[in-house]
Amino acid sequence: MKKLSNKKMNKTFRDNLITYGMVIAAYVIMQILVSAGAVSSLIQGLLVPLCTYAILAVSLNLTVGILGELSLGHAGFMCIGAFTSAFFSKVMENTALPSGLRFFCALLIGALFAGIFGLLIGIPVLRLKGDYLAIVTLAFGEIIKNLVNILFVGLDENGFHISFTNTMDLNMSEDGQVIIKGAQGITGTPHDSNFTIGIVLLLVTLFIVLNLIHSRDGRAIMAIRDNTIAAESVGIHITKYKLMAFSISAALAGVAGVLYAHNLSTLTALPKNFGYNMSIMILVFVVLGGIGNIRGSIIASVILTLLPELLRGLNDYRMLIYSIVLIVMMLFNWAPKCIEWREKVAARFKSKKSVKKEAE
C-alpha cells in the first residue's frame, strides 16, 4: 500500500516537474537565443504577452477544468487587475519608491483587487449552475469594461477626485493630473514587465494551481465538480471550496492583467482586450489545451498567440487560416473519431516498440 501511494506521488511529482521544466527550458532557450541576437523583434515583443496569456489560461483552467464551472468573465478580472495596478503605478511613478518594489506592490494590488471581486461576484453567482453561471459571468465582464470606460479619476493636492461623466466634473486644481480618463483609459504606465518577470509569475501561478490541485482542498474541489451531492453528503463545504477556487482563479487573472498593463504604455478597456471576445479567447486556450490539463493550457495559449503573428506574411488571409487551424485542432483533440484514430496510431506505435524490445 505504501509503495503504491509512493508511486502515485512520484507520478504527479514527475508530471509537475515536466510542466515546470518545460517553462524553464523555454525560458533558458529563449534567453540564450535573444542574447545571441537570433530572435526577431516580433518574437521578442511577444514574449511578455505569451506569459500573460499562459497565466490567464492556467488560471481559467482552475475554474473550468478543476472546479468545473463555465466562466465567461475572465477578462473582467484581468481588467480589474490591469486598471488597479496601472493606477497605483501611475500615482506612485514620481515618488521615491524604487521601480522594482513599486511593481511588486502593483502586482499584489492587482491580484488582491481581482481576488476580492472574484469573491464578491462568487458569493451570489456560484449558487447558479451551468448556463446561468456562464451568463452572469459574461455580464459581469461587460459591466466591468463599461464601468471602466466611464470612470474618471484625477489627483491633485486635495486628494483624489472621481467622476462618472467627464474630466470637467472632477473640479481639479490647475496642476492636477487626470489619471484615468474614461474611454482613453490610463496612458503612460511605466514599463515594468519583462520576460523574466513574466516567466517567474507564470511559474508562481503554476506552483499555486498545481499545489492546490494536489492538495486536500483541491481534491475537495474536484469532488464537487464530479458530484456535488455526493461531495456534500461526505461533509465537504461546497460554497467555501467553490469560492476558494473561483477567487484564486480571479486573483491569478488579475496578475496577468498587471503584466499586461505594465507591458504597454496605454491601457484602454476595449471589447478587443477586455470584452467577452477576450474571455472566450482564454476559454479557447483552455478547451484546446484540454480541460483540466494545466500543461496543455500553456501550450495552447502559446501556439494560439503566436500563430496569427507568425502568419503575418499572408496579410489578411491570416485570420482565415487561423480560424481553420483552430477548427482542425479542435477536431483533432476532441472529435471521437479522431481520438479513436489517434489511439489506433498510438497502439501501433506501442506495439512496434514492444516488438522491437522482444526482438532485442
Partner 1 sequence: MKKFNKFLSVAVASAMVMAMAGCGNTDNGSAATGTNAATESAAASDSAASGSVFKIGGIGPTTGGAAVYGLAVQHGAEIAVEEINAAGGINGYQVEFKFQDDEADAEKSVNAYNALKDWGAQIIDGSTTSGACIAVTDKTKEDNMFQITPSGSAVECVQYDNNFRVCFSDPNQGLASAQYIGENGLAEKIAVIYDSSDVYSSGIYEKFAKEAENQPFEIVAAEAFTADNKTDFSVQLQKAKDAGADMVFLPIYYQESALILTQAAAMGYAPKWFSCDGMDGILGGVDNFDVSLTEGVMLLTPFAADATDDLTQSFVTKYKEKYGETPNQFAADSYDAIYVIKAAIEKSGVTPDMSVSDICDGMKAAMTEITVDGLTGNGMTWTADGEANKAPKAVVIENGAYKAM
Q: Which residues bind partner 1 (CB under 8 A)?
A: 18, 22, 25-26, 29-30, 33, 38-46, 49, 142, 146, 149-150, 166-168, 182-185, 187-188, 191, 260, 263-268, 270-273, 295-296, 299, 302-303, 306, 309-310, 312-316, 318-319, 343, 346, 349-350
- SS3 at position 320: helix
The minimum distance between CB 265 and partner 1, in angstroms, equals 4
43 vs 194: CA distance, rounded Å: 13
The minimum distance between CB 298 and partner 1, in angstroms, equals 9
279 vs 291: CA distance, rounded Å: 15
Which residue from 101, 59, 116, 111 is spatially nearest to 257, judged by alpha carbons? 111
Nearer to partner 1, 40 or 95 (CB): 40
- DSSP letter for 185, please: -
The minimum distance between CB 4 and partner 1, in angstroms, equals 16
What cell was used for 269?
A: 478597456
Nearer to partner 1, 100 or 271 (CB): 271
Residue 12 contacts residue 214 (beta carbons within 8 Å)? yes
What cell was used for 205?
A: 501561478
Nearer to partner 1, 168 or 234 (CB): 168
Nearer to partner 1, 44 or 215 (CB): 44
The minimum distance between CB 281 and partner 1, in angstroms, equals 12
Nearer to partner 1, 107 or 288 (CB): 288
The minimum distance between CB 234 and partner 1, in angstroms, equals 29
Which residue from 245, 316, 324 is spatially nearest to 58, judged by alpha carbons? 245
Nearer to partner 1, 240 or 352 (CB): 352
Nearer to partner 1, 9 or 270 (CB): 270
314-325 core/surface letters (b: 16 or more CB in 10 A; e: else): eeeebeeeeeee
Which residue from 99, 269, 128 is spatially nearest to 186, judged by alpha carbons? 269
Nearer to partner 1, 19 or 247 (CB): 19
The minimum distance between CB 26 and partner 1, in angstroms, equals 5
The minimum distance between CB 23 and partner 1, in angstroms, equals 9
The minimum distance between CB 226 and partner 1, in angstroms, equals 20
The minimum distance between CB 134 and partner 1, in angstroms, equals 19
List, as one string, the DSSP characters of 7-44. Answer: HHHHHHHHHHHHHHHHHHHHHHHHHHHHHTT-S-HHHH
50 vs 201: CA distance, rounded Å: 12
Helices (H), the chain: 2-35, 41-61, 74-92, 99-125, 130-149, 195-213, 216-226, 228-233, 238-261, 271-274, 276-289, 294-310, 318-334, 336-359
Nearer to partner 1, 232 or 343 (CB): 343
